Structure 1
Amino acid sequence: MDSITHTLFGLGIYKAVNKEEMGKKEKYALLFTTIGASQVPDIDVISQLWDTAGQYQMWHRGITHSVFLVPVWAFLFYLINRFIFRIKGFRSFLISLLAVFIHDTSDVFNAWGTGYLEPFSSARLTLGTISIVDFVIWFIFLMAFIVSKIRPAAKEFSIFRLSWIIIALHVILQSVQGYILYEQYKPTYEQVALSARMLPWHYTVIGKNEETVDIINDSLLTEPRFVDRLKSDENANLDTLFANKPEARTLYEWSPFVVIVNNDKRLGVYDPRFYRNGQSFLFEYIEKTQK
């Protein structure tokens, strides 16, 4: 998910905790913990500063997003609460555990995916059933905030706990529909990938057969709309590309499958899941020398 959504997750956890018997210091510590733990896996962005091998595509949402690292991050926030905020007890550990788990797991539902099982598996776990920016989640939290203000008699933490239930139902419904579409296209293509669109219950299906990649917008409620058919030069020699552009090798290994561009001007690879308006923003290539 995007940084705004992860921040909203942290605020949503904070609001869902019953703070009636908490002092001001405890509330500050809780707010720091929920937002910090909801953001901390994305600390991997600093790896761009020393990435000279073109590995950032693999490092981002890599080991820092591993489910096996969740208790490590949670313990870090427990220590901060214990020795900086002077908050005793393991409540901060459990809340941090939940916040980091939600971050890592929610990212699995995006097309970008995560290294959820690193270091035991380098495979990117990705479902592609939830958009990276999901305005439905934003709207649910906004409504919870509004209701908590216009209904002061209602318990704020109860309202936000209900909002979490609604978000979970949204994710389940969105993912079940995506899975049904995925299964419908599997017999037609050798490889299939899914990328949720920002409009709820609508998806982009990417299907590959040998050197052909089809881009189709579809949902269970509408007729499929063919977007484009891409040609991939599967016989192209990519050694020169990988030697001169290590980011291209990383993208090749990171993506479920790529489109290989090999024409008079360029040799490159791109991820068709992020294909918009005739191009993909995940495109690594080299210019060919003109004779």
Structure 2
Amino acid sequence: MDSITHTLFGLTLYGAVNKTKMTAKEKRALLLTTVAGSQIPDIDVISAWWDSTGRYQMWHRGITHSLFLVPVWAGVIAGVARVFFKVKGWLWFLIALLAVFIHDTSDIFNAWGTGYFEPVSTSRITFGMIPIVDLVFWAFMAAGFLYVKYGRGRWPSYRIYRLVWALMILHVGVQTAQGMTILQQSKDNYEQVALSADFVPGVFTIIGKKEGLVTLSKGSLWTGFETVAELESREDANLDTLFANNPQAKTLVEWAPFVVIVDDGKRIGVYDPRFYRNGQSFLAEYFTTKQ
């Protein structure tokens, strides 16, 4: 997910905790714990500062997003809360654990994916069931905030935010059920297939590759799917020159489920078709062979 969504997750998690018996200091510790836990896996963005080998694509959302590192991050955050706010007990560790787990797990549901099981496996886990920026999440969280602020309901605020979490989990479940059904129906038509969720709930793009042809089909279970693009991939191209002159290209091939290969005599390159929009993909790497 994007940084704004992760921050909102942290604030909504803060709202979902019953703070009736908490002191002001404990509430501040809780806010630190939920927001920091919802953001800390993305600390890997600083690796771009020293990347000289073109590996940033693998480092971002890599080991810092690993399931095995969740308790480590939680321990760090709980330790900071203990030092700065003098709080005691396991609550801070458990809340941080949940916040980091939500961050890492929510990221595997969009097309970017994460190194969820690093260092055991370097494979990117990606489902493509939820867009990177999901406006449904935003709508649920905004509705909960507005109800708490302006509503006159009998429920305490923490129960409202717990309902928001329940609705968001339900949304993920519905999207995932649809996406898995679509993938199951599509797998016999392609050698390789991936899914990318649209901003509109229930709408997906199927990205299928077969014999050097990548087909993008957009639609839903209810409307059916229509081909929106067909991309030729030069599977016979020699990528050694590309990799030697553009290390990021080799990383992209390793990172993506599959790529489209371009070789038109003037340039050679690869791009991720899941992010293909308006005639190009924003995840692409090229090397010009002829000026």
Partner AA of 1:196 in structure 2: A
CA distance in 2, matches of 1:60, 1:79: 25
What is aligned with 2:13?
Answer: 13
What is aligned with 1:271?
Answer: 272
Partner AA of 2:26 in structure 1: E
What is aligned with 1:213?
Answer: 214
The C-alpha deviation readout for 1:1-57, integer Å capped at 9, x for no partner, is 000110011001000000111111111111111001100000000000000000000
> Is residue 2–residue 132 contact of structure 1 (8 Å, CA) maintained in 2?
yes
Deviation at 1:152, TM superposition (A): 5.7
- 1:10 partner SS: helix
What is aligned with 2:68?
Answer: 68
- 1:187 partner SS: helix
> Is residue 267–residue 290 contact of structure 2 (8 Å, CA) maintained in 1?
no
What is aligned with 1:93?
Answer: 93
- 1:17 partner SS: coil
Matched, 1:242 2:258: no
The C-alpha deviation readout for 1:181-208, integer Å capped at 9, x for no partner, is 1111111101100000111010010000
> Is residue 193–residue 209 contact of structure 2 (8 Å, CA) maintained in 1?
yes
The C-alpha deviation readout for 1:225-279, integer Å capped at 9, x for no partner, is 2111100000100001001100000000000000000003210000000000110
The C-alpha deviation readout for 1:121-170, integer Å capped at 9, x for no partner, is 00000000000000000000111111112126420000000110111000
What is aligned with 1:182?
Answer: 183
Runs of 4 or more above 2 Å deviation = 151-154
What is aligned with 1:192?
Answer: 193
- 1:286 partner SS: strand
What is aligned with 1:105?
Answer: 105
CA distance in 1, matches of 2:213, 2:265: 20
CA distance in 2, matches of 1:143, 1:69: 33
CA distance in 1, matches of 2:81, 2:277: 45
The TM-score with structure 1 as length reference comes to: 0.98
- 2:231 partner SS: strand
CA distance in 1, matches of 2:75, 2:16: 21
> Is residue 233–residue 260 contact of structure 1 (8 Å, CA) maintained in 2?
yes
- 1:84 partner SS: helix
> Is residue 148–residue 154 contact of structure 1 (8 Å, CA) maintained in 2?
no
What is aligned with 1:280?
Answer: 281
Partner AA of 1:179 in structure 2: M
Partner AA of 1:229 in structure 2: E
Partner AA of 1:154 in structure 2: W
Deviates more, 1:246-255 or 1:145-154: 145-154
Aligned residues: 290
- Structure 1 gaps, min length 5: none
What is aligned with 1:143?
Answer: 143
CA distance in 1, matches of 2:239, 2:13: 47
Deviation at 1:60, TM superposition (A): 0.3
CA distance in 2, matches of 1:146, 1:83: 34
What is aligned with 1:52?
Answer: 52
What is aligned with 2:29?
Answer: 29
Deviates more, 1:254-263 or 1:74-83: 74-83
CA distance in 2, matches of 1:199, 1:13: 25
RMSD: 0.8
Matched, 1:258 2:259: yes
What is aligned with 2:170?
Answer: 169
Partner AA of 2:228 in structure 1: V
> Is residue 129–residue 197 contact of structure 2 (8 Å, CA) maintained in 1?
yes
